[in-house]
Structure 1
Amino acid sequence: MVDDKKLDPFDTAQLFINKHFPHCQGALLAGSVVRGESTETSDLDLVVFEKNLSISYRESFFEYGWRIELFVHNQISYKSYFLSDYERARPSMPQMVVEGVILKDDGMISAIKEEARKLLEKGPKEWSAKTIVEKRYFLTDSLDDFIGCNDRAEGIFIAGILAELVSEFVLRVNKRWIGNSKWIVRSLKAYDVEFAHDFVSAFDEYYKTSEKLKVVQLVDRVLEPYGGRLFEGFSNGKE
């Protein structure tokens, strides 16, 4: 029987670990609750380290009135997730480890937290000059689709793709971590609050009024230091 009475999040996390992982080597509570940003729909993110685990896994629960997202690793598997996050520039696992409140520790958590902290400070894998050229081309292509679109329904979704591409571009060329969904805006704010405001304002105006000018100007502003829009002369895969 599911208990739908919502307990204190930190009490819930401790009860959950004691119940399901009483012999684990370490456990952390992370996510919006720890950051003081929780809402009615927030869940609890728990990172658990099990010495004898053969393979890492993720699992979801509903207990003590909370949705619980569980990320279970052994003492080695988390490293591959750190590397993957570094390569894709989305630091999900390192961020959870750094911000996580310790629920249990047999002496390994401090070293893992330090490893995660150093990775976050280092920043993501740097884009090559070739990658920047390719991203300029695809961003230009989406911008042209946006400018030429006369169908409101199509324009809504083109704008969404354009927002993702321009946010990715400005963050990656500045060697900053990226995000998706709500983390797009959070990542932009972490980089530059003023730019984040301009970014939101431009797309908000388009969604409210169908006026495209601010979005077009924003994309051109981002591309200008790297040569501006790119179409003619672009080539990929040609020997």
Structure 2
Amino acid sequence: MDYLKKLMPLEAAQKFVHRQYPNCQGALLAGSVVRGEATETSDLDIVVFDKYIQSSYRESFVEFGWAIEVFVHNLTSYKLYFEEDCLRARPSMPRMVSEGIVIKDDGIIGLVKCEADKLLEKGPEGWSLDTIKTKRYFLTDALDDFIGCSNRAEEMFIANTLAVLLSEFVLRTNCKWIGDSKWIVRSLKQFDEKYAEHFIEAFDCYYKNGGKNQIINLVDIALQPHGGRLFEGYSIGK
């Protein structure tokens, strides 16, 4: 077998699991190749369930022409990852399991998929009023820095911070899952395609020509239902 030859994703995943985890009870192929979003640099994300391992682990390989990320769990360790992902509102593991294509199944995958689907459908727990207040304060603080900054280099990184804080605020106050990196955009689109377009346009406008108004308006619109900008009177740990 020529391991530099790039096989089709599913074939590569099947051969890989057969080679590396022949005694596992289940395996799924997930990630961008399953969603039809693969690029030249995409890897294969494979979730493996093996009742004989003591604790979960992650490992990277290059086989069959692919970079492969493997997430190995026993038949209970995945539950902790489900819980932790839900607490941080970033459902990486539930999403991989839910969308994953079955590579191998000794009768366990259906139950695990059902657990993942229920968690994804339920969504994250809503923020408390205290949490919303704190998030308003930090979003306001970043916005004020952005408005007042006249140093282009510093301003760009403040804008980056604003993008993360604003996307989190909008999604979490609507009890939706959040994301990081490319999943910021994907999470916003899952929430509201039109809003995601406005969000992208606002930051694109800033990065292209320095215009701040669209970003400022987006932040103010997001804050308005929750009391608007917050600085005076905010206290923590007093």
TM bracket (short chain):
over 0.9
Partner of 1:213: 213
- 1:50 matched to 2:50? The reply is yes
What is the letter of the counterpart of residue 105 of structure 1? D
Mapping of 1:24-63 within 5 angstroms?
Answer: 24-63=24-63
Residue 89 of structure 2 corresponds to which residue in structure 1?
Answer: 89
Q: Deviations over 1:71-106 (max 9, x none)?
A: 000011000000000000000000000000001111
- Aligned to 2:38, the other structure's residue is in SS state coil
Q: Secondary structure in 1 aligned to 2:75?
A: coil
The TM-score, its normalising length taken from structure 2, stands at 0.99
Which blocks of at least 5 consecutive residues in structure 2 are unaligned?
none
The 5 Å alignment of 1:217-228 reads: 217-228=217-228
Unaligned runs of 5+ in 1: none
TM score, norm. by length of structure 1: 0.98
The residue number in structure 2 matching 1:133 is 133
Percent identical across equivalent pairs? 64
Give the alignment of 1:15-26 within 5 angstroms: 15-26=15-26
For 1:186 and 1:6, how far apart are their aligned partners in 2? Answer: 28
Superposition deviation, residue 2 in structure 1: 8.1
Distance 2:185 2:203 in 1: 12
Residue 5 of structure 1 deviates from its aligned partner by 1.2
Number of equivalences: 238
Q: In 2, distance between residues paired with 1:64 and 1:105?
A: 22
Amino acid at match of 1:153: A
Map of 1:203 onto structure 2:
203
Match of 2:106 in 1: 106
Q: CA RMSD in A?
A: 1.0
Q: CA deviation at 1:125?
A: 2.0
Partner Cα separation in structure 1 for residue 193 and residue 237 of structure 2:
38
Q: Distance in 2 between matches of 1:206 and 1:53?
A: 50
Superposition map of 1:8-19 within 5 A:
8-19=8-19
Are the aligned partners of 1:31 and 1:100 in contact in 2 as well (CA < 8 Å)?
Answer: yes
